[in-house]
Amino acid sequence: MTTMHERMPPDGTSQQSDSQPPLPGAASARSLRLGTRASALARWQAEWVAAELARLGVQVELIHVSTQGDVSARPLGAIGGQGLFTKELQNALLDGVIDLAVHSLKDLPTERVPGLCLGAVPERESIRDVLICRDRDSFEALPAGACIGTGSVRRGAQLLYARPDLEIRDIRGNVDTRLRKLDEGQYDAIVLAEAGLKRLGLTDRITQLLPLELMLSAAGQGALGIEVRDGDAFTIQALAPLDHPLTHAAVRAERALLAALHTGCLAPVGVWARAADGRLELDAVVLSPDGRRRVAVSRTGAWEEATALGERAAAELLAQGAAPLIAASRQTV
């Protein structure tokens, strides 16, 4: 499995939009068409990118694109797995309907789509998962047999590893829909990404920030990926000031690990890479869907060799027996 071609500036310095001059004649020469899903979170992400580009003098038109993941209420694994929130946007890019697409990077498959590349990865938001309870104040306070809603095998497996007494039940819908289902009593608690709640102004709903020792995040969680047509020099140049090299390196390592494990965003794999003392540190886990088996690895490497770091960590996980755990997750669909 090959990873998506991802560009990163040759130096390791962060580039800030405020310090960049407008592209010469950008506003008058070309208006970029930005594809977005219709959910509130997707719109927030697209509007943030559009506003950043507008500050650089680039006009942006938002184009709404409906994806399979948006229109189906069935469990994600049952309706095709990877790419449910990205394929239609990628097709629109390839067809020339849009010039760029904003993805939650954790939803973007690692397999390269010929003709497309990541033009920029902005600085990352929180990578953490959070617990939202109906009437308890912590994960530890949930009673035996408590029902937790999540559409993620990764989250469910890690919760069961910590507490096999829990009932993990699938939940679908946007953030507002999931919160409503919790409030209606369909679940005792739900797990969501902190980044999405922060972007939507809903942090007051958070009961507990789950510790990373309990809940390691998905590859690319909290990061945005801005996808463009390979060779579209104008759009790639326009996006360059939005790219955050250290975030880009971290998610490159995480996505390389997923690709080397021959799995995708729906698998029970948690991974977190980050810059520390001029290097990249990476932690990763693979679990069985029932949480009974778990393998883990921690590795450090040069951030310029992010892909190799992810691949080395994946090789160690496979040596510890990760492959049958991943295979078991496919059989549960």
**Strand, coil or helix: what is 196?**
helix
95 is catalytic: no
Q: In a 10 Å sphere around its CB, with 0-12 CB exposed, 13-18 middle and 19+ buried, how is residue 314 labelled?
A: buried
Consecutive H or E run containing 209: strand 208-209
Alpha helices in the chain (DSSP H): 26-29, 40-55, 68-71, 87-94, 153-162, 175-183, 194-199, 233-239, 245-260, 306-319, 322-331
Separation of CA 117 from chain center: 16
Amino acid at 101: A
Catalytic residue among 99, 107, 232, 243: 107
Q: Helix 245-260 vs helix 306-319: angle between axes, to the nearest 10 degrees?
A: 30
Separation of CA 59 from chain center: 27
b/e 74-95 (16+ beta carbons within 10 angstroms → b): eebbeeebbbbbbbbbbebbee
Phi, psi of 291 (to 5 degrees): 75, 5
Q: Both tokens of residue 329?
A: 């997750």
Residue 258 region by backbone torsions, left for phi larger than 0, else alpha for psi between -120 and 50, else beta: alpha
Q: How many CB atoms lie within 10 A of CB 17?
A: 14
Task: Give rounded-to-5 percent helix, strand, coil for the chain.
Answer: 35, 20, 40
Positions marked active-site = 107
